Structure 1
Amino acid sequence: MSKIPAPPASSKKSKVVGGNINNDNNIASTFNNFNTGFLKLPDEQSSHRRLLADELKTNGRRRNNSSSPSPDINNADEDDEDAEEEEDEIGDLRVGKLRTNGNRLMFNNNNSNSLRPNLLEEGENGLTNGCSSDMMDISDDDGREGWDNKMQFFMGVISYAVGFGNVWRFPFLLQKNGGGAFLIPYLIMMVIEGVPLFLIELGIGQKLRTGPVGVWNAIHPYLGGVGVSAVIVSYLVSLYYNVILTWVFYYLFKSFSFELPWINCPKLANGSNITECVESSTPANYFWNREAINTSETIGDFGGFTWHMTFCLVFAWFVIYLCVMRGIKSSGKVMYLTATFPYFVLTAFMFRSILLPGATDGLRYMLTPDLSRLWEPDVWLDAATQIFYSMGLGFGGLIAFASYNPVKNNCKRDVLKMSLANLLTSLYTAFVIFCVLGYMGRKNFNSCIEKDMSLILKVAPKLYKNMEEINGNITLEEFTFYLQTDFRDSKFSEIINHPSYKKCELGDIISEAAEGTGLAFVVFTEAISQFPFPPFWAILFFLMLMMLGLGSMFGTLEGVITSLNDAKMIKLSQPMLSLLICASSCLIGLVFTTQAGQYWVSMFDHFAGTYALMCVAFFEVVAVIYVYGCDNFVRDLQYMCDEQIGNFWKITWRFISPVIMFVIFVASIFKSFTKVPEYSAYHASTTHQHLEPYPTWAFFIAFGMY
Structure 2
Amino acid sequence: MKAAGKSMRAQDEKHQETKCPDSTSPPPPTPQVLESEKPSDCESPAVATSVAPALKSQTVSAEQVAGAGRHYDDLSSSLWAEEDSEGLDTINMSKDDASTERPSWANKMEYFLAQVAFSVGLSTIWRFPYLCFHNGNGSFLIIYVLMLFLVGFPLLFLEMAAGQRLRQGSIGVWKAVSPWIGGVGYSSVLVCLVMGSYYSVLTAWSLYYLVQSFQSPLPWTLCPTLGNSSEIDPECARTSPATYFWYRRVLKATEEIEIGGLPVSHLSMSLLVTWSIICISMMQGPKSTGKMLYVAVLLPYLILFFLLVRSLLLEGAQFGLKSLLAMQVSALYSVDVWRRTGNEIFLSLGPGLGSFTAISSYIPRSNNCVIDAFAVAVLNLAASVITIMFVFALMGHLATKNTVKCYLKNAEILAALVKTRVLPAEAKPPDSLYHHPGSIYTKWFDSLPDAVRRAALPHLSSCNSSRELEEVMEGPGVAIVAFTEIISVFSGATFWAIIIFLLLSNLGLSAMTGIMQGILTPLQDMFSSLRRHTKLLTVGVCALMFLGSLTYVRPSGSYYVNLLDDYWTSLPFLIIVILENVAIAWIYGARRFLADLIVMMDRPVSPVYRWLWCCLTPTVLLVLFIVTLLNLCRSPISYFGWNSSASNELKQTYPQWARSLLALLIALTVLPVPAYSLYALLRTSTAAPLSHSRDTNLFRLELAKNLHGSVHRFRKRLKKRNKRNK
Quickly name the TM-score band, shorter chain normalised.
Answer: 0.7 to 0.9
For residues 196 and 156 of structure 1, what CA distance do their matches in structure 2 show?
19
For residues 494 and 695 of structure 1, what CA distance do their matches in structure 2 show?
49
For residues 324 and 233 of structure 1, what CA distance do their matches in structure 2 show?
19
1:234 Cα deviation from its structure 2 partner:
1.2
Amino acid at match of 1:303: G
For residues 307 and 39 of structure 2, what CA distance do their matches in structure 1 show?
68
Match of 1:647 among 607, 610, 613: 607
1:166 Cα deviation from its structure 2 partner:
1.4
Equivalent position of 2:675 in the other structure: none
For residues 129 and 576 of structure 1, what CA distance do their matches in structure 2 show?
50
1:607 Cα deviation from its structure 2 partner:
3.0
Matched, 1:665 2:625: yes
For residues 438 and 598 of structure 1, what CA distance do their matches in structure 2 show?
28
What is the TM-score with the length of structure 1 in the denominator?
0.81
Contact 1:229 1:616 in 2 (8 A): yes
1:610 Cα deviation from its structure 2 partner:
1.3
What is the TM-score with the length of structure 2 in the denominator?
0.79
1:343 Cα deviation from its structure 2 partner:
1.4
Aligned residue runs from structure 1 range 485-634, under 5 A: 490-493=451-454, 503-514=462-473, 518-568=477-527, 571=530, 573-634=533-594
For residues 225 and 136 of structure 1, what CA distance do their matches in structure 2 show?
27
Matched, 1:688 2:648: yes
1:373 Cα deviation from its structure 2 partner:
2.3
Contact 1:455 1:495 in 2 (8 A): no
Contact 1:448 1:504 in 2 (8 A): yes
Contact 1:24 1:57 in 2 (8 A): no
Runs of 4+ more than 6 Å apart = 73-77, 83-86, 106-109, 125-131, 138-142, 457-460, 465-468
Contact 2:414 2:428 in 1 (8 A): no
Amino acid at match of 2:306: A
Match of 1:23 among 12, 37, 40: 12
Contact 1:464 1:470 in 2 (8 A): no
1:535 Cα deviation from its structure 2 partner:
1.0
Equivalent position of 1:4 in the other structure: none
Match of 1:244 among 191, 197, 202: 202
1:368 Cα deviation from its structure 2 partner:
2.0
Amino acid at match of 1:616: I
For residues 236 and 330 of structure 2, what CA distance do their matches in structure 1 show?
41
Aligned residue runs from structure 1 range 346-495, under 5 A: 346-452=304-410, 456=414, 461-463=420-422, 469-470=428-429, 472=431, 480=442, 490-493=451-454
Deviates more, 1:366-375 or 1:462-471: 462-471
Relative to 1, partners in 2 of residues 1:381 and 1:127: Cα closer, same or farther, differing over 3 Å? closer
Q: Deviations over 1:427-467 (max 9, x none)?
A: 11111111111111111222234445555578885346999
Contact 1:306 1:594 in 2 (8 A): yes
Contact 1:305 1:594 in 2 (8 A): yes
Relative to 1, partners in 2 of residues 1:306 and 1:489: Cα closer, same or farther, differing over 3 Å? same
Relative to 1, partners in 2 of residues 1:429 and 1:542: Cα closer, same or farther, differing over 3 Å? same
Unmatched tracts of structure 1, length 5 or more: 1-16, 29-54, 64-68, 97-105, 110-118
Structure with more contact order per residue of length (Cα contacts < 8 Å, sep ≥ 6): 2
Secondary structure class of the residue paired with 1:407 = coil
1:497 Cα deviation from its structure 2 partner:
5.5
Matched, 1:674 2:634: yes
Relative to 1, partners in 2 of residues 1:219 and 1:680: Cα closer, same or farther, differing over 3 Å? same
Deviates more, 1:291-300 or 1:502-511: 502-511
For residues 186 and 293 of structure 1, what CA distance do their matches in structure 2 show?
32
1:256 Cα deviation from its structure 2 partner:
0.9
For residues 340 and 535 of structure 1, what CA distance do their matches in structure 2 show?
22
Secondary structure class of the residue paired with 1:705 = helix
For residues 363 and 585 of structure 1, what CA distance do their matches in structure 2 show?
40
Secondary structure class of the residue paired with 1:294 = coil
1:199 Cα deviation from its structure 2 partner:
0.8
1:92 Cα deviation from its structure 2 partner:
3.6
Relative to 1, partners in 2 of residues 1:183 and 1:87: Cα closer, same or farther, differing over 3 Å? same
Equivalent position of 1:298 in the other structure: 256
Contact 2:415 2:428 in 1 (8 A): no
Relative to 1, partners in 2 of residues 1:640 and 1:212: Cα closer, same or farther, differing over 3 Å? same
Contact 1:133 1:632 in 2 (8 A): no
Secondary structure class of the residue paired with 2:652 = strand
Relative to 1, partners in 2 of residues 1:414 and 1:384: Cα closer, same or farther, differing over 3 Å? same
For residues 642 and 79 of structure 2, what CA distance do their matches in structure 1 show?
58
For residues 160 and 375 of structure 1, what CA distance do their matches in structure 2 show?
31
Amino acid at match of 2:217: E
For residues 659 and 127 of structure 1, what CA distance do their matches in structure 2 show?
31
Matched, 1:309 2:271: no
Secondary structure class of the residue paired with 2:127 = helix
Contact 2:155 2:351 in 1 (8 A): yes
For residues 333 and 581 of structure 2, what CA distance do their matches in structure 1 show?
28
Contact 1:238 1:556 in 2 (8 A): yes
For residues 516 and 394 of structure 1, what CA distance do their matches in structure 2 show?
28
- Percent identity, aligned pairs only? 30
1:641 Cα deviation from its structure 2 partner:
3.0
Q: CA RMSD in A?
A: 3.7
Equivalent position of 1:135 in the other structure: 81
For residues 187 and 444 of structure 2, what CA distance do their matches in structure 1 show?
59
Deviates more, 1:84-93 or 1:592-601: 84-93
Equivalent position of 1:322 in the other structure: 280
Equivalent position of 2:42 in the other structure: 88
For residues 626 and 461 of structure 2, what CA distance do their matches in structure 1 show?
40
Contact 1:146 1:404 in 2 (8 A): yes
Deviates more, 1:446-455 or 1:350-359: 446-455
